[in-house]
Structure 1
Amino acid sequence: MSKFSTIRIKELLEKSDAAKLPDLKGAALEKLGCYLFGKMKGLNLYGKNKFNASGSRELDIIYKNDRRTSELHFLDGFIPIECKNTAKKTTSEQVNWFANKVSDTTCRYGLLLTLSGLTGKDETEAAKSEIMRAVSKFGIGILVITRIEILQLSSTRDLANLLEQKYLALCLEEKVELEFY
């Protein structure tokens, strides 16, 4: 377990927020993503801004996950991360686009860092419906991390616990509801 510097997290968030162009906002948020996940045991940066063979889809960050030693042992051997820092909440279309990008890989789960949150009143509408659609249609799970959650992290153990809770909710609770209703 490694500790996070709350000063460093806030500094990276401020840089992302202060950037004038969308690409610069995204690049600054990618630095935050690399800071958070780069401190985790068992994760190694595989690539940033990686395109598929046709050049039509890009993954912001990809970590190689050594499940034998990783704090994220419950996730796949590769973890794609999408970074969204927009003034408006991440939409269902953006969630769908990311789910499609993940479905083009051998990964079953992707992480979505969205500083403004998801569309819908309380994450039970719109964008969340796309997350559930990705599970049922593609077999892809999208785990969402928001600004509020990032600001509450003090260690890699906190991040691993947060993601494990989201993973369990998506894999177990949501599937049980889908199967029996």
Structure 2
Amino acid sequence: MPNYSRARIQDFLDRSDTAPNPDAKGRIFEDLIVYLFERFQGVRVADRNVLDNTGAQELDVVFWNNRVRSPFDFLDPILISECKNEAPPLSSAKCREFVAKLRSRGANTGLLISSSGIAGQLNGYRYANSVIMDALTADRIKVIVIDRAEILALNNTDDLINLITEKYLNLTLRRTLN
């Protein structure tokens, strides 16, 4: 159970929040996610900023999850993560885009790390969580959403294991994102 450095987590977030442009902001936020996940035996970065053959879809951080050695044996061997450090919660359209990325690659599980979480109903649009529930029902795609408050609450790797496990169970058993 390696500990996380709270000061280091806060530094990543502060640098990402004040980065001079969206690309730098995103890269630093992705670096934070790499820091959190590479502390696990059996989990490593497979690639970053991966474009599909058309150049239309980019994957932020892709982890190789060796399910024999990893505590995430219930997740896919290839973990696709989308990292968004944006002030507004992610819209249903952005959630739909991420689900489309997972679907087009045959992935069953994705990590959506959004600093501000995902949006509720706004101006008559569907709830962003409905998009995630629809993906679960229609395609058996599980999207685990992690927000800034949850990242800031992490003290050690066991906390992240427990968070992801609980979110996975809530999604599949209770059909909720909490």
TM-score using structure 1 length: 0.91
C-alpha offsets along residues 12-48 of structure 1, whole Å, 9 cap, x if unaligned? 0001101132221111100001100111121011000
1:35-114 superposed matches below 5 A: 35-114=35-114
> Post-superposition shift, 1:144?
0.4
Structure 2 residue aligned with 1:143: 144
**Alpha-carbon offset, residue 117 of structure 1:** 1.5
CA contact (8 A) 1:22 1:86 kept: no
TM-score normalized with structure 2 length: 0.92
- How many aligned residue pairs are there? 172
What secondary structure, in the 3-state scheme, does the structure 1 residue paired with 2:47 have? strand
CA distance in structure 2 between the partners assigned to 1:93 and 1:80 by the alignment: 18
How many Å separate the matches in 2 of 1:149 and 1:74?
Answer: 21
| Runs of 4+ in structure 1 over 6 Å off | none
Residue aligning to 2:134: 133
Q: Which residue number corresponds to residue 165 of structure 1?
A: 166
Q: Distance in 2 between matches of 1:174 and 1:117?
A: 17
Per-residue deviation, 1:106: 2.8
Shift in Å, 1:104: 1.2
TM-fit CA distance, 1:126: 1.1
Name the amino acid aligned to 1:138.
D
User: 1:101, 1:7 → 2: CA distance?
Assistant: 33
What is the DSSP-based 3-state SS (H/G/I as helix, E as strand, rest coil) of the residue aligned with 2:87?
A: coil
1:56 CA displacement: 1.2
Deviation at 1:93, TM superposition (A): 0.6
Q: Report the AA paired with residue 24 of structure 1.
A: A
Give the % identical residues: 38
Gaps of 5+ in 2: none
Q: Relative to structure 2, which stretch is displaced further, 166-175 or 134-143?
A: 166-175
Q: Which amino acid aligns with 2:145?
A: V
Amino acid at match of 1:169: N
**CA–CA distance in structure 1, aligned partners of residues 159 and 89 of structure 2:** 24
Give the Cα–Cα distance (whole angstroms) in 2 for the partners of residues 40 and 4 of structure 1.
Answer: 11
RMSD: 1.4
**Paired residue for 1:154?**
155
Q: Hey, what does 2:120 align to over in structure 1?
A: 120
Give deviations 1:82-113, integer Å, cap 9, x for gaps: 00111211111111100100111132000011
Inter-partner Cα distance in structure 1 for 2:60 and 2:118: 19
Aligned mates of 1:30, 1:21 — CA distance in 2: 14
Secondary structure at the aligned position of 1:73 is classed as coil
1:90 and 1:117 in contact (8 A); partners too: yes
Contact 1:51 1:57 in 2 (8 A): yes
